[in-house]
Amino acid sequence: MNRTPLLHGAVKTESYRLRADARLTEEPGGCLVLEQSRYRLRLPGLEAGRRALLLRMAENWLGDLQIAQLVTGLDSDSRLLQAQLLVRRLVLHSWLERRISLGTRALLDVVPRRIGAHSMPPRHRHGAGAAYRLSRFAVLRAEQSRMVVYSPLSTVGISCPEPRLTAVLARACGESVGLGEVAGELGLDESTAELLLNELLSARLLLTPQEAEAETRTAPLALWSAEELWLHDRTRPERHAAPIGATDRFRDLPEPEPGITETVSGSARPSIALPEPGTAGLRDRPSDSLSAVMSRRRSVRRHDDTRPLTVAQLGEFLHRVQRFEPRGRDGGANGVRPYPGAGGLGELEVYALVSRCAGLRSGLYHYDSAHHRLTTVAAPGTETERMLSFARATATMPGPPQVLFVITARVGPLMRKYEGIPYALALKDAGILTAWMYLVATDMDLAPCALGAGDAASFAALTGLDPLAEPAIAEFTLGSRPTEAEEQS
């Protein structure tokens, strides 16, 4: 049943405007310039008609008839072809958005994600009698006062100025939709409905049953979760032109309230000075060569609780993997860690949940890397037991780890400096730190094991940290190494 009356005699039109994330500027010599984040296109030598055309499309939608009227009104008819070619070139290079309308009723906007030659997706067309399902990778979000539906597998998205278009997409989640359903839901003739279907197919939002089946049952697509594919897409600029890298977009945003990392050193929380590296007993054996350590490195999931990790060993380990060495005259904020990190920001923090350690009480501690000490965060209790139990199950350990490290990221500094990639950078830095932890633990003849997940909810409850300001992003267990026979039993 038609939800919207058919517009008898209405004409299908296409219109164009500058993409929402771009701007048109003018150089001192009069040359017009299109700019968008990472891209810049100079358009010198334009006559009055094409200049007016660009200026108008920077503000409003223009259809072919309006383009013709504007250009011929300012220039001769002979200039119209040049203007039309300019518009086609800008569309093909994704500088313009494209709108499909029926009469005065806007139905669908094609929103480019990428810029440059070959940035438009391959065209897909509706086949007679075919029906389609919504891609499991499709996401709808609010963007600059409109709804846009994207797939990370396409270089264009679709905006829905006609709200009932979103109803078609919602319907395609649970059942197949074809030409009749699109025409009926939107109250369109079949030729217009087919035009919309072609755009939805080209944007990879609607798929044939075979394509939808491949997304869930055929490698490599079936192996990707929607969240992981979107993260990959955003951090690798193959299909989009969104800002990426060190844009410093939040440089003027006020700093948030300090979290535990900034306040713990000056608080009334008890702190424990760790033995200084280099003291007698900490290094009573020479280190192996790097290649020898690498050849011996492996995950060890058993700890020798009859001879637990000592506080001296814990202190040496933390100093070697996470120490902070001030650089510069201020001796404070600027410094380096033993491993490389994005922008030298040193956003990673290490918390130690101690279950069994000779010379140290059980509990959750923060490692103050600037002063080489542990600051008490929480005493043992239900939440710490939960975290240890989660770690034990994740690593398939026979007992709770002697020490569980939680690696967090103060994402604010990364997000202020970088755009599109800050969370991915934090994960990469955590991977580097984890690898460094393995090497140091192996050199110290300890038992290391990285975990694939952790109890972030219990950790946030214990620390009071805002998970959006300093999320837990990695976990690592450490303990005394059992004998080779015990390790393999």
User: Between the CA of residue 420 and those of 190, 234, 237, 306, 474, what are the distances in Å?
Assistant: 40, 6, 9, 48, 21
Q: Return the pLDDT at 145.
A: 87
- What is the greatest pairwise CA distance in the chain? 94
Q: Return the pLDDT at 256.
A: 66
List the single range of 3-12, 111-120, 288-297 with lowest mean pLDDT.
3-12
| Residue 175 pLDDT > 70 | yes
Across the range 349-353, mean pLDDT stands at 98
Closest to 334 in 3D by CA, of 348, 342, 345: 345
Q: How far apart are CA 55 and CA 379, in angstroms?
A: 65
**Positive/negative CA dihedral, 368, 373, 377, 383:** positive
Is 227 in the same domain as 322? no
Q: Return the pLDDT at 254.
A: 79
Q: Return the pLDDT at 484.
A: 75
Is 126 in the same domain as 188? yes
253: in domain = no
Q: How far apart are CA 418 and CA 244, in angstroms?
A: 7
Across the range 2-14, mean pLDDT stands at 67
242: in domain = no
Q: Are 120 and 94 in contact (CB under 8 A)?
A: yes
Q: Return the pLDDT at 276.
A: 80
Q: Return the pLDDT at 197.
A: 98
7: in domain = no
Q: Which residue has the higher pLDDT, 462 or 485?
A: 462
1 — pLDDT class (breaks 50, 70, 90): very low
Is 218 in the same domain as 353? no
Q: Return the pLDDT at 265.
A: 47
Q: Return the pLDDT at 331.
A: 47
274: in domain = yes
Is 314 in the same domain as 430? yes
229: in domain = yes
Q: Which residue has the tokens 């006020």?
A: 254
Is 184 in the same domain as 290? no
Q: Are 287 and 332 in contact (CB under 8 A)?
A: no
| Residue 278 pLDDT > 70 | no
Domain boundary among 235, 251, 280: 235
Is 217 in the same domain as 334? no
% of the chain residues with pLDDT over 70: 91
Is 315 in the same domain as 210? no
91: in domain = yes
Neighbours of 227 (CB within 10 A): 10
Q: Return the pLDDT at 114.
A: 96
Is 292 in the same domain as 396? yes
Question: 254: burial class by Cβ within 10 Å (0-12, 13-18, 19+)?
Answer: exposed
Range of the domain at 16: 12-235
Across the range 356-385, mean pLDDT stands at 96
- The identity of residue 179, as a single letter, is L
Could you tell me the pTM of the whole model? 0.88
325 — pLDDT class (breaks 50, 70, 90): confident
Backbone angles phi, psi at 13, to 5 degrees: -135, 155
18: in domain = yes
Q: Return the pLDDT at 328.
A: 61
Is 229 in the same domain as 265? no
Is 155 in the same domain as 213? yes
Closest to 34 in 3D by CA, of 125, 79, 95: 95
Across the range 103-108, mean pLDDT stands at 96
Q: Count how many domains the chain has.
A: 2
Q: How far apart are CA 448 and CA 297, in angstroms?
A: 9
pLDDT 10s digits, 465-482? 999 999 999 999 999 999
Q: Return the pLDDT at 9.
A: 63
Is 77 in the same domain as 134? yes
Across the range 91-105, mean pLDDT stands at 97
Q: Return the pLDDT at 55.
A: 97
Across the range 147-167, mean pLDDT stands at 96
Is 162 in the same domain as 231? yes
The CATH number of residue 384's host domain is 3.40.109.10
pLDDT 10s digits, 37-56? 999 999 999 999 999 999 99
| Residue 225 pLDDT > 50 | yes
Q: Which residue has the higher pLDDT, 254 or 395?
A: 395
Q: Return the pLDDT at 339.
A: 94
Mean residue pLDDT across the chain: 91
322 — pLDDT class (breaks 50, 70, 90): very high
| Residue 178 pLDDT > 50 | yes
Question: 71: burial class by Cβ within 10 Å (0-12, 13-18, 19+)?
Answer: buried
5: in domain = no
Q: How far apart are CA 68 and CA 154, in angstroms?
A: 32
Q: Return the pLDDT at 327.
A: 74
